Amino acid sequence: MYYFYYLRARKRLIVFSSILGAIVLLNIALLPFSHVGQSDFTVGVSSHESGYSFGGIAQLHRLLQTIRIPFVILVTIAVALAAIFGTAAAASLSGQNRHLHFELTRPTSRRRLALTTFGMDAVAIAASSVVALVLLLVPFAILGSLDRLDFSPESFFVVAFGLGIAFMWYGLLQAVTVRMRGGGGAAVGISWAVFVTLSAMHNLPASIVGEPVVWIIHALNIFNPIVYLGKLFAPGYGAHVTSGPLPGSIENLITVWIIALVALAIAVVQRERMEV
Amino acid sequence: MNAIDIAHLTKRYGTQLAVDDLSLDVADGSVCGLLGPNGAGKSTTFKCLLALAQPTSGAIAVAGAAVTPKTFDYLAYVPEMSALYENFTVAQHLEVTRRSYAAYDPARAAELAATFKLDSKKRIGKLSKGQRTAVALVLAFSIRPRVLVLDEPASGLDPILQRAVLDLIIDAAAGGAAVLFSSHQIGQVERAADTIAVMRGGRLVLRGDIDTLKGDEKVVEAIFSSDAPSVNGLASDARVRRVERNGRILRLHVRSDADGVAREIQALAPRTVDVLDLTLEDIFLGAVSDDAVPGGA
C-alpha cells in the first residue's frame, strides 16, 4: 500500500506547489506595477517615517540594498503554509475507509499501514514547508537580493514550532475522522471554522460571558492550532526577532508536539480496533 | 488439516445476531460454495474470517493458525463491492500487489489481464462494475494463493468471463488451493463447488457434498388440470421430506421410494407425474424455505 500513499502524497504536494508557485509568479509579474515602501519590510517604521517610497522592480531592488530582512519571517510564512497543507492531508485515514476490504486484506498490519500513512504525510508536510520557503526565496533571487536576508538561530525554533503546529492539526483531524466513512474533507473545513471561532473568543472578558465559559474556551484553545499560529505571527514579531523573546515559548513547542503525538496514537488505536 | 476452519462462530451487532454458532471447514484442494438469501450472514462470515470484524465468540483458523496480517501472504480475497482506488490505474494496482506479495507472478497477472481484456492504463473509476471485479480477480489470482475467499466473484461479468472465473476457481482448487466463495447464481456454484454450505438467518442450515445431497432425494412432480389437491397423508409420510403446492403443480421431496410415492400420486389423476433428480436449486430452496429443518444435512 505504501506505493499508493506515496502517489497520493506526491500528488498533493504537486498541487500545493503549483498553486503556491502560481501565486509567487503572479506577484513577480505584477512587481513592475507595484508600489513598494520600506514599511513593507520592516515592522514599526512606516514609509513616511523612513522617507522611502518606491514603485517597480528597480525601486524595490534599490530598497533591498538599504535594508536587511529577517530570514525567520520567510520561515514563519513557510511553516504556516505547511500547516495549511497538513490540513489538506489530514483526512487520509478516513479517505481509506472506502477501500478497507482492499487495504486490510494485505499482508501488513493495520498499525503499520496507519504509521506509513502518517510517515508519508509527514514527509509531504515537511517538504511543503521547504517548497514554500524556496518559492518565497525566488523573488529575492530574481532581484539579486538573497544576501540581504539575515539568518538567525531562531529560525530553527520557528521550524520546530511551526511543524509542530502543522502535525498537531493534522493529528487532531486524523483522530476525529479515522472512523468516518465519508465527510473527512468536510471535517477538515469545519475544523477551520471551529478553531478560528475559538481563537476569536479567546479574549472574551469574563465579565461578559462568565468565568466558566472563559475557562472552557481557554482549555479548548490548548488544542487550537490557530492560537499557536497566532503566536508565530504575534504583533511586533519582526522587530524583536533577533533580540527579543521567541514567538511562542518552549512550553508551547512541547505542548503542540505532545498533542500531535497523542492524537496520532489515538488514531492508530482506533484504526486497530475498527470493524469493517 | 483444513485450510479454513470456522468453529462455533457467533457475531452480534448490538442486539442483532448476524451469525449464530456457525461451524464450517474447507479442505485444501476443494471448493465450497456458500449460499444463502440476502441477510443470511454470508458477508459477516467473510468479514470475521478475514479479521475485518471481531467475532463475538468462536474460533477461526486459516492453515491451522489464527488470522494475522501474515495470513494474507497466501490468502486472497475478492469482495463483492469494489474496494479498489478509483483514481489509480489498473497498472498501479498491479504495482501495489507486486510490492506487497513475494509470490506475485507478473506473467500470470499479464495472462489474466489479457483474459479479462483489461486495459492496464485505465483508471479504476473509468471501469464498469464487471471490469472492476475482473481487476480484483487478477490481483487475487496473480499471487497464486493457497486460500481464496471470493464474494460474488462473477458479479457483473458477461457469461464468457463468468465461465473464465469458474475455470480459474476449479483450476486453483486442482492446484491445491482451498476456495470459499459465495454466489447468488446457483448454476455457478453447481459447476465449481464440491461442497455447499447454506446459511439462513445467520445459521448454517445445510452443509454437504453436492453429489451426496443430490443423491439423497428425488423430486416427484405432478401437474394437474386444475389446482393441485392437498396430500395431507403424504405430507406426514416418513418417505416425504417436504410438499410444495403451487397452483396446478404438486412437488414432493422424497427421501426414499420415489417410484412408490409417484404411483400414489398417480391415483389422484394428474395430467403428468415425473420422478426428477434433485437440482442444487431444489436443495437450496428446500434449505431456506420456511419449513426447512435447520442442519438438515
d(CA B138, CA A69): 59
Whether A151 is covered by a domain: the verdict is yes
Residue of A nearest to B75 (CA): A105
Residue of A nearest to B92 (CA): A4
- Whether A101 and B81 lie within 8 Å, measured CB to CB: yes
Range of the domain at A205: 69-273
**Among A1, A3, A115, which would you mutate to test the B interface (most chain B Cβ atoms within 10 Å of its Cβ)?**
A3
Whether A174 is covered by a domain: the verdict is yes
Out of A7, A112, A275, closest to residue B88 by CB:
A7
* Amino acid identity, position A105: T
CA distance A127 to chain B (A): 23
Q: Could you tell me how many residues make up chain B?
A: 297
pLDDT range class, residue A47, cuts 50, 70, 90: very low
The per-residue pLDDT for range A129-172, each reduced to its tens digit, is 999 999 999 988 888 888 888 888 888 888 999 999 999 999 99
User: Among all chains, which residue has been given the C-alpha cell 438469501?
Assistant: B37
Number of domains within chain A: 1
The per-residue pLDDT for range A52-96, each reduced to its tens digit, is 444 566 677 777 777 788 888 899 999 999 999 999 999 899 999
DSSP 3-state assignment of A260?
A: helix
Lowest-confidence range among A26-35, A121-130, B78-87, B197-206? A26-35
Sort out which chain B residues have CB atoms less than 8 A from A276's CB and list them: 47, 52-53
Lowest-confidence range among A7-16, A178-187, B71-80, B84-93? A178-187
Query: CB pairs below 8 Å between A and B: how many?
Result: 60
- Whether A103 and B83 lie within 8 Å, measured CB to CB: yes
* Amino acid identity, position A89: A
**Among A99, A100, A106, which would you mutate to test the B interface (most chain B Cβ atoms within 10 Å of its Cβ)?**
A106
**How large is the average pLDDT for residues B125-135?**
94
Whether A16 is covered by a domain: the verdict is no
Whether A74 is covered by a domain: the verdict is yes
When the pLDDT of each residue in chain B is averaged and rounded to a whole number, the result is 92
The per-residue pLDDT for range B263-275, each reduced to its tens digit, is 999 999 999 999 9
CA distance A275 to chain B (A): 5
pLDDT range class, residue B297, cuts 50, 70, 90: very low
Sort out which chain B residues have CB atoms less than 8 A from A111's CB and list them: none
Whether A47 is covered by a domain: the verdict is no
d(CA B249, CA B224): 6
When the pLDDT of each residue in chain A is averaged and rounded to a whole number, the result is 85
d(CA B215, CA B258): 12
Position A43 pLDDT exceeds 60: no
The per-residue pLDDT for range B41-70, each reduced to its tens digit, is 999 999 999 999 999 999 999 999 999 999
State the DSSP H helix or E strand holding residue A186, giving kind and residue range, or none if neither: helix A184-200
Strand ranges across the sheet with B178-182: B75-78, B147-151, B178-182, B31-35, B195-200, B203-209
Could you give the domains of chain B? 2-210 (3.40.50.300), 218-277 (3.30.70.2470)
- Whether A108 and B69 lie within 8 Å, measured CB to CB: yes
The per-residue pLDDT for range B98-125, each reduced to its tens digit, is 999 999 999 999 999 999 999 999 999 9
